[in-house]
Structures are given as C-alpha cells and as structure tokens.
Structure 1
C-alpha cells in the first residue's frame, strides 16, 4: 500500500486536547490499521514526512511514533525500501509474575507495605501521560512463595483505576485490572543487575551485596494508553527471565551496552 492510499485507510485526526501524547495517538492509529488488515505484512508505512503531513503534526512526532512501532517489533526499517509492516501488533496479553504460577505449586502471598494516594512527581506524571493535578497511587508490595521472599514491587497507577489494598493482597494486579475490563496489551521492560542494599537485604532476606535483578515495566492497555509503571526487584538466585527472540531477515538491530 503506498502513501497515496494511506489517507484513505488511516483516521489520523489527532486530539490535541487529550492527555495522551500525539505520538502515542499516531501509534494507536497505525496499530488499528494493522490489526484490521488495512496495512498487511509487507506493506509500506508512510514515511516520517508523509505521516506528519497526514496527521498535521511535526516530523519529530511522526518519527517518534514510527520508532515506537519499530521498538515493539511491529514494523521494520529497510534501507532503500522504507518502513514495512512485519505482523499484527497484538500477539498476546501481557501477564504479571502472579499469573505465571497458574495454580501450580505454592500460591504466592502478597503483603502491601505502603499505599499512598497523592500528586505525583513531574517525572512520574509525564511517564504516565497524565494531566497536571491528576492523582496517582504509589503502592509497595512484597511477594513471597512458600514463606520465602520472591520480589519487592513498587507500582504507580492512576488513582482512578487502582485496586484496593485488600484486593492487592489477594490477587495479582493485572488480573484485578482485567476484572475491571482493562486489558494489558503490551509492556516495555528494562532489566538490569544490581547489588542488594541494606534495605533490600532486610526485605528480601538476602545478604548485603547479593546480586539482584531489577525490572522496570511500563504497561499499556489495548488502546495504547499507559496503565502503570512498575519497579520490581528479585533475588537473582530465586528468579530467572527467559524470552523468545524472533529473527526477521533484513531487520536492523541496535544494541546499546552501558557499564555503571
């Protein structure tokens, strides 16, 4: 599908009054077209200039939207060809660590250590794409299995969707959100290694200086809205992380390594 017909396919009337950033609105418009089959695998996506013209936004905004889809593995940039659709954007529903137990083995036990409702910092508000003055819940939990601490979790959610303390101690966060009709469609995660501080050692029953895995997750609903930000910390010897990496011929892969 060429750029000449994209205007007929995509409804790119962005809402500048909405709290959702313009680039995320563009991402969602493209995802809808891909999910509906209006943009099929192999079809060329409009260039940054073409998309900016169709949507009436800056080239910086359109570039960020396309890069978001590249990062999600929905489209790929090919030299001399342009940006092409790889596959449908919605592959499966993202799960939380609580869901992974699936009723097998000891049931995880969750204890809420802190639950605060208030005005977030500017960084958290921007990360959640909320307007100034919106209320956010910061909840800190400790999850254990068989009496052994498995993870310490801090989550930030809009106050309008956050479950209660009692609910959070009896079920997983994403399962609770699903029960409210809110389904997590995608999450972006950053995983890094660090060593345990004194506070970590007390909370997770490990030695100071022990290796930990730190996972930062930003979860999106099926409409591309940010639902929550989570920071989870795991003792390295009690948790491992595995993923399948599909390889696409001609795809451009960027790897960044940083030592601290």
Structure 2
C-alpha cells in the first residue's frame, strides 16, 4: 500500500500573474506548477488539494485553476484518481531542439540518465542510412541500439549508425557516456544537423521495452549530424515516450 502525500502549503505560493499579458491566465498558473514539479518541490505521488483551496492559495479563480490542472493532466504530469484526487505522476523531460544529445540534456537537468546497450554490431548500410551518411549502400557502418533511462524509467529507444572508420566503440563506452561526448573525445564535434520530429503509435515490441501500452503515442526523431568540415558523423532514428517527453522550441520574430 502506498501512502498519499499532500503538497505542503508552503510549497505553492500565490502566482504572479500578468492580467494584461496575452498569455492566458491558466497557462501562467500551469507553467508555475510545472516548474515546481520539475524542480522536485512537488514530488512524484504528491496529492494536489481540491480546486477551491488551491485557487485560493494561488490567488486566481477556480475556473482558471481547473483549466491549469487539466492542461497538466493532458501533458501527463498530473493524473486524476477517483477517491484520491489529483496526483503528480511524473515530471516530463522537456528537451530544447538544439544540437545536443539526450544524455547531455538529462545530465544537465539532473535526471540520472542510464543506458542499456541492446545491440552493437557492424552492418551493411541500408539505402536510408547510406543517404543520410553520404556513403554507398552496403558500406559497413557501426549500428547501435540503446535504451535510455531517466530517473529509473525507460524514456527512449535509440538507433544510431556511425561510419565504421570514424570511431571504435565498446558497450562499456556507450553505457557510461553519451554518443556525442564520445565523438567529441575522439576529435569529432557535431556542428550542424538536420532533424525531423514526428509521432506514431507504439508497436508491440516498442511498447514492451518502453513499458507502455501497445498503441501508446510515441514521439519520433531522426537526425543526421555533420562536423564543421561537412563530414557526416552519425545518423539517428529514435522514439520517445510521449507521456514522459516533449521537445521545446524557442522562436523569435526575424
């Protein structure tokens, strides 16, 4: 039996909302709650009190609070349980869309990354891999399959192809360090990349490995990275648990 822990009153202070801002009030409130969850000030399993009391503590209306909570429920950070109320289930990993590795991002955000190497072998490049790495189809490449954990939970199933003559990798290397760190240590620094982000449903094998239900939503990302001299360094094709992961883009007007 698990005990329910209520959020201490001092953990949630009134939100400084800007009522003149075009940003909706509920989103301002949701962002504040999300920050507290991601920082661990509201821990996994903590029970969020009823909307009336929470609205009073946040200094906003009940409808605003209700919509903010629903927003976080939809993002997979909160869950409503009959007879219990609203609970924190897990902080989602938010990853900036920039040239960094998942391992680097998890280390930066103190999410305790761990890697299980599922496969490390030499294969003949498929047409897709050959096109990405700018080599002839059938050329030998190093093929890597890894399961990346964050905070003890599986987060991403990762597949990478590396030119065979670029770097020699071991399972221990890949278990202890991120791929981009290993490339940098070998003198190959990723400087530019093309990246495509999408979504699809999990197949039976993926669902089992990622501890999701078959048909669960997965985020997909394929990427090819080059060094400053224009040499292709790696091709990656990864899937991420949409319930635990999102990409974050920062946009500005030119």
Match among 110, 113, 118 for residue 108 of structure 1: 113
Which sections of structure 1, spanning at least 5 residues, go unmatched? 1-92, 249-260
Q: Which residue of 2 aligns with 1:238?
A: 244
TM-score (norm 2): 0.58
2:232 corresponds to 1:222: no
Q: Which residue of 2 aligns with 1:149?
A: 154
Q: In structure 1, the residue corresponding to 2:130 is in which secondary structure? A: helix
Give yes or no for the alignment of 1:95 onto 2:95.
no
Deviation at 1:226, TM superposition (A): 1.3
Which residue is equivalent to 1:169? 175
The equivalent of 2:201 in structure 1 is 195
Gaps of 5+ in 2: 1-97
What is the DSSP-based 3-state SS (H/G/I as helix, E as strand, rest coil) of the residue aligned with 2:213?
Answer: coil
- What per-residue deviation string (whole Å, max 9, x for no partner) do you get for residues 90-121 of structure 1? xxx82101101235434211011011203212
CA distance in 1, matches of 2:149, 2:138: 35
| Cα distance change on mapping 1:201 and 1:132 into 2, 3 Å | closer
Deviations 1:162-219 (A, max 9, x none): 4222101110000110011111001111111111110111110000111110111111
CA distance in structure 1 between the partners assigned to 2:218 and 2:146 by the alignment:
17
Determine the C-alpha separation between the residues in 1 that align with 2:124 and 2:246.
35
Instruction: Give the Cα–Cα distance (whole angstroms) in 1 for the partners of residues 107 and 128 of structure 2.
Output: 35
Shift of 1:235: 0.7
